[in-house]
Amino acid sequence: MNIYITLFAAVALEVLGTMLLPVTKSFTKMLPSIVVVLSYGLSIYFLAILSQKLSLAIIYASWAGLGVFSVTFLSYIFFKQALNWQTILGLFLIVLGVIIVNLYKGQSTF
């Protein structure tokens, strides 16, 4: 499997788990709770696979950054959570940071 497809799957599963957290009602609802645990588990499994092919810095920056961006955007859509200009700027900077980390992943200055 392509490493970026695997990374995208890991991000998507983490986002799914995070978006379902409110639905679990503090893990009192069985089905959403199972989906949350499975999605996080599969996400971590994919990260473990990726750790054999990419550096942890690249994997984690991409996974966390894209996850934060996606959860914030989807929370705005599904949970009607407010976004101000500072949040939007911060999300832009996260995406920019992920892009920069991935562009220069093979270069070392040390």
pLDDT tens-place string over residues 64-75 = 999 999 999 999
> Looking at the domain assignment, is residue 109 inside a domain?
no
pLDDT band for 108, please (50, 70, 90 cuts). Answer: low
> Looking at the domain assignment, is residue 18 inside a domain?
yes
For the segment 30-59, the average pLDDT, to the nearest whole number, is 95
Answer whether residue 94 shows pLDDT above 80.
yes
| Cα gap 22→39, rounded to integer Å | 15
For the segment 7-15, the average pLDDT, to the nearest whole number, is 97
> Looking at the domain assignment, is residue 23 inside a domain?
yes
> Looking at the domain assignment, is residue 108 inside a domain?
no
Domain count of the fold of the chain: 1
H-type alpha helices, the chain: 3-20, 30-50, 56-78, 85-103
Answer whether residue 90 shows pLDDT above 80.
yes
Answer whether residue 89 shows pLDDT above 70.
yes
For the segment 4-23, the average pLDDT, to the nearest whole number, is 96
pLDDT at 104 (0 to 100):
79
For the segment 43-54, the average pLDDT, to the nearest whole number, is 95
pLDDT at 57 (0 to 100):
85
> Looking at the domain assignment, is residue 110 inside a domain?
no
> Looking at the domain assignment, is residue 57 inside a domain?
yes
Question: Cβ(98)–Cβ(65) under 8 Å?
Answer: yes
- The range of the structural domain enclosing residue 98 comes to 3-103
Q: Which two tokens stand for residue 42?
A: 């599969």
